Chain A
């Protein structure tokens, strides 16, 4: 009984841990409740060749699709839009305003499955003589592995970047060895880089392992440039490692570091589009998605793997990710002090 009382006393004094223990389930419940939805709505679609107000209304019926106001001039332009990710579905329309075919971006597994189902329903409802020809691009068989393995790279790198870095620094602080380093002539930047570079190397080793397993065991296609993948992964890692360092500046001990890291990692899994498509996440929590580096890295990694995307296709995500990397590195540097107080 004395031990139980002592544990409660310790918990009561450690407000931060207590806050995380009590607050995290509530936050996760809210996030899960809102985000965990496989019902994809408002899939981005565009018409190709001709406009058709009737078809627009039909596609938008029930909220399955959100149709862009602009019409792609031809199939080549529609393919470009699909590759860039500005649309997930392109419906080819004839001069009479009837759908004569569709292209679907298969790299977005759940959205693509829903789109295919809705398009087939539309085709059946139109009482056409023949079903609407639909071509699924980038992941024609809608293989789960092709969708999940590139995403896993992002997920695992978040784990290594945030959790392992935070724990590494906090462990050093807890053992008192960080104090020893603080009295050396090492600059703050050297101290930070010295802690980050080993984990960067580990993260790249992880990346190579995942790539090898993905390509050799799961036969996931890698259609884009490997150097581009590595460079953009390094950019992503810069933000995750900086977040890890930030966690280490707020956590007093390894338990707090672990809980804070989990608090950051779990939303990245649920809200970044790793499992649930962004389109299915309500705006009440989707704004969180846009603050997460993984949200921008997933289209990059899936794009390079499945679509053979180039920097020209990914400039928006790369720009945001670069901005985030600069922001988080600057924030971590300003908070990471070489003094105890």
Chain B
């Protein structure tokens, strides 16, 4: 069963068409990597799925109606810098309608999962880039979403934090979450079960990393060869 289903998705921003009729299907429990150069339309596509953008054509599921089923860790830091880690979690938990007990239990579980337990009383703005990304992930998981959208979650993060972050993603995947992860780095999406290559608002290729790699040493080498 498809958890994410895009059919002929079109989106215009600032007078220019950014997505040109994208078709995409992500099945329940899949870990799919969305890769492409800067400006390919990855963020726009994720925002359409999350309901932040209204499509100009085609259909999107879940879109605006599925916000309870969906967790979206957006690119960059979108939490409250003045609030502590615990306060940010408490606020967003309340927004998602979690009662006090469930929220406390969920927050403990997720803080331990992300290794942020020792930092619960630190203002979010004082955390390192990697920790902020983990906090963003924690907040997007609070309501136990079935679908997780991750927009370049490791950009600007040091290699160690990046590795830790990927361990978290793989654990979420093993727990059965449907994950669509956008990245500009081929080596990252090689960890996914399926890779979708987006360029200039169009799906150029998709398949397993092995299929897309072919005889080349890496996905990046395969795509560079295609471009040449």
A→B interface (CB under 8 Å): 175-177, 179-186, 339-341
With contact pairs A176-B78, A177-B78, A177-B79 given, residues A182 and B52 touching in the complex (Cβ less than 8 Å):
yes
C-alpha spacing A52/B190, complex, angstroms: 98
- Residue in chain B with minimal CB distance to A180: B78
Interface centre among A177, A180, A184, A341 (most CB of B within 10 A): A180
- Residue in chain A with minimal CB distance to B76: A176
Residues of A contacting B81 with CB < 8 Å?
Answer: 175
Whether A184 pairs with B74 at a CB distance below 8 angstroms is: no
* Top 8 A-B pairs, shortest CB-CB distance: A180-B78, A176-B78, A184-B95, A183-B72, A185-B67, A340-B52, A183-B50, A185-B68
Whether A183 pairs with B52 at a CB distance below 8 angstroms is: yes
Whether B51 pairs with A179 at a CB distance below 8 angstroms is: no
C-alpha spacing A177/B79, complex, angstroms: 6
- Residue in chain A with minimal CB distance to B67: A185
With contact pairs A179-B74, A184-B67 given, residues A339 and B52 touching in the complex (Cβ less than 8 Å):
yes
Option from A176, A179, A181, A340 in Cβ contact (under 8 Å) with B95: A181
C-alpha spacing A341/B78, complex, angstroms: 18
Count, A-B residue pairs, CB within 8 A: 47
Supply 11 A–B pairs (Cβ within 8 Å), ascending by A. A175-B78, A176-B74, A177-B79, A180-B74, A180-B78, A183-B72, A184-B95, A185-B95, A186-B95, A339-B51, A339-B53
The secondary structure that dominates the A interface is: loop
C-alpha spacing A184/B72, complex, angstroms: 9
Among residues 25 to 55 in chain B, which have CB atoms less than 8 Å away from a CB atom of chain A? 47, 50-54
Residues of A contacting B23 with CB < 8 Å?
Answer: none
- Residue in chain A with minimal CB distance to B92: A184
Shortest CB distance A145–B (Å) = 39
Whether A341 pairs with B53 at a CB distance below 8 angstroms is: yes
Whether A185 pairs with B96 at a CB distance below 8 angstroms is: yes
C-alpha spacing A148/B72, complex, angstroms: 52
B77 within 8 A of A: yes
Option from B47, B70, B78 in Cβ contact (under 8 Å) with A340: B47
B115 within 8 A of A: no
Residues of A contacting B113 with CB < 8 Å?
Answer: none
Indicate the size class of the contact surface on chain B.
20 to 34
Option from A175, A176, A183, A186 in Cβ contact (under 8 Å) with B51: A183
B97 within 8 A of A: yes
B166 within 8 A of A: no
Whether B54 pairs with A341 at a CB distance below 8 angstroms is: yes
B161 within 8 A of A: no
Whether A185 pairs with B52 at a CB distance below 8 angstroms is: no
C-alpha spacing A179/B51, complex, angstroms: 11
Option from B54, B70, B97 in Cβ contact (under 8 Å) with A183: B70
B208 within 8 A of A: no
Whether B67 pairs with A179 at a CB distance below 8 angstroms is: no
Residues of B contacting A183 with CB < 8 Å?
Answer: 50-52, 67, 70, 72, 74
B64 within 8 A of A: yes
C-alpha spacing A91/B80, complex, angstroms: 64
B13 within 8 A of A: yes
Interface centre among B64, B70, B78, B79 (most CB of A within 10 A): B78
C-alpha spacing A185/B68, complex, angstroms: 6
C-alpha spacing A184/B70, complex, angstroms: 9
C-alpha spacing A56/B182, complex, angstroms: 81
Residues of B contacting A185 with CB < 8 Å?
Answer: 67-68, 95-97
